[in-house]
Amino acid sequence: MRNKKIFIKGMHCASCEVLLEKELKKIPGLKHCHVNHRKGEAQLRCKRDVPLSELEEAIKNCGYELGDGEIKPEKKHKNTLYDYFMFLIIAMLILVVVFVAKDLELTRFFPNVGENVGIVVALLLGVVASLSTCLALTGGIVMSFGSMVHVHDGRKHHFMSRAVPHIYFHIGRIVGFMLLGGLLGLIGSRISYSLSFTGYLTIAISFVMLYIGLQILDIVPNITKLGFHLPKFLSKGVHSLEKADHHLAPILIGILTFFLPCGFTQSMQLASVASGSFISGALIMGAFAIGTAPVLLSIGIGSTYAKEEKMKFLMQFIGVFIILFSLYSFNSGLILSGSPVTLDSWRSAKDAIVSEIDNDVQVVKMDIDWTFSDNEFCVKKGVPVRWEINGINVSGCSNEIVIPSLDIRKSISKGKNIIEFTPTQEGVIPFSCWMGMIGGKFIVE
């Protein structure tokens, strides 16, 4: 038995290891191989002297290159000054659109936008993931489906005949992701946690989103290099089904891709747990799977797909968008955790509404018309507050008001709603909808 070490260029994550090990083991006489993407090498045990040409061919089949020496870690900071200028321009354009939409109160025409933000972002992340090199594992699987379903000789080259296994795969993937995402949401619903915990969890998710956005912009390394990987033996189990001669095989593989080591998928799984319900968890993971479908389906049935360099502006736009959304989520987490300091703290309180005194009670009034009409109030320390909330148009996001620092939750219905409390110390008391998407504050003097 002979030991051999070779170097391989182009590996990014644990998925690359699984792909290469599977392909290298097809070489006659090669009994064992262990691939390490961090070191850029493969340790081989062979019964015979395997020529480098055979190894190089197997490596090229997976989309990698045989190295001639120790592989140095790839530098991710390849962006030019022009790239960073484009990041800034894109961010400014997105913010302008957001502020214009807010001033025009366009959200009135989208009453459920607060509920669907997580689903929209999950769908967007699915598209990004399908274009990312970290999903080389899934792409490699779907490309091998052409030989899995037997077709009549006369239809061997028929488009639908070749598309059948890929359609099965995506049916299994979408349905499986929805069911398993719903299960994660159900697990989250069984966990009893405070508003502060919800806020901290939202902050954690925002950091994951921020990292993904920076990764897309090639500013930081792939998120999977942090070590969050499924055990390799489970990932290999997915590949073992590729040779299964049954139409259910691609369906099962589609379901099992839920467990493959992908940072994008893992961030959505965390969001599903945080959603706290079967339906929300199912919708988040289902939207993510649907987002990955177009590109993966195109790759699988042999169509050409846009390479990353040709989609540079799109990737930049998506990366900047996700970074901005992560900051928005971070701010929501700060609000839900009861922090007196948020990203809105720099704003002046000169427009805050001063409470009215009625029978030694401070009265403040606020309308909910999809969003909060007034959201900053000045009140006096030690004087009871009567907060009158008029529900005009209440959405799925604004149907509950929370004051985390006072541990107050109040369901809001159409008409008059009342919340009473007494501020005991000077400072800021933030409040928001239960999702932390829209909020405001009481300034205690």
One digit per residue, the tens of pLDDT, for the chain of length 445 reads 788 888 988 887 677 788 888 888 889 988 888 888 878 889 999 988 888 888 988 888 887 888 876 655 555 557 788 888 888 998 898 788 767 756 655 444 433 434 444 677 778 778 877 765 444 445 545 554 543 444 444 444 456 666 777 788 889 999 999 999 999 888 877 765 666 777 787 788 778 778 877 877 878 776 555 555 555 555 555 555 555 455 677 788 788 778 765 656 766 777 787 777 899 889 989 998 998 888 777 766 653 333 444 557 767 777 787 788 778 778 878 877 777 777 766 665 556 777 778 788 899 988 888 778 878 889 998 899 999 989 887 765 677 888 888 888 888 888 899 999 999 888 888 888 876 767 788 888 8
Sign of the torsion formed by the C-alpha atoms of 184, 404, 327 and 112:
positive
What token pair was written down for 157? 């080259």
Segment (H or E) for 46: strand 41-46
Model pLDDT, residue 179:
95
Handedness of CA 102, 103, 106, 112 (dihedral sign): positive
Residues carrying CATH 3.30.70.100, the chain: 2-67
The topology under which CATH files domain 2-67 is: Alpha-Beta Plaits (3.30.70)
Contact 25, 243 (CB under 8 A): no
Cα(391)–Cα(370) distance, integer angstroms: 9
- What kind and span of H or E run contains 388? strand 385-393
Rounded to whole angstroms, the Cα distance separating 65 from 253 reads 27
Residue-level pLDDT at 302? 55
Which pLDDT score is estimated for 183? 92
C-alpha 235/C-alpha 35 separation (Å) is 14
Report which residue type is found at 231: P
Cβ atoms of 379 and 441 within 8 Å: the answer is no
Query: What tokens does 56 get?
Result: 């190089």
Tokens, residue 167: 């359609």
Radius of gyration of the chain, Cα coordinates, nearest whole angstrom: 27
3-state secondary structure 346-368: CCCCCCCEECEEECCEEEEEEEE
How many angstroms from the chain centroid is the CA of residue 129? 9
- The encoded tokens of residue 295 equal 């590109």
Specify the DSSP class assigned to residue 101: H
**pLDDT value for 201:** 74
The amino acid occupying position 254 is G
CATH 2.60.40.420 in the chain, residue ranges:
353-444
Alpha carbon of 131 to those of 125, 135, 257, 288, 355: distances in Å?
Answer: 10, 8, 16, 13, 53
Q: Find residue 371's DSSP bridge partners.
A: 369
Residues in the chain: 445
Separation between Cα atoms, residue 366 and residue 364, nearest integer Å: 7
Q: CATH says 353-444 is which class?
A: mainly beta
The alpha carbon dihedral of 65, 71, 77, 81 has a sign of negative
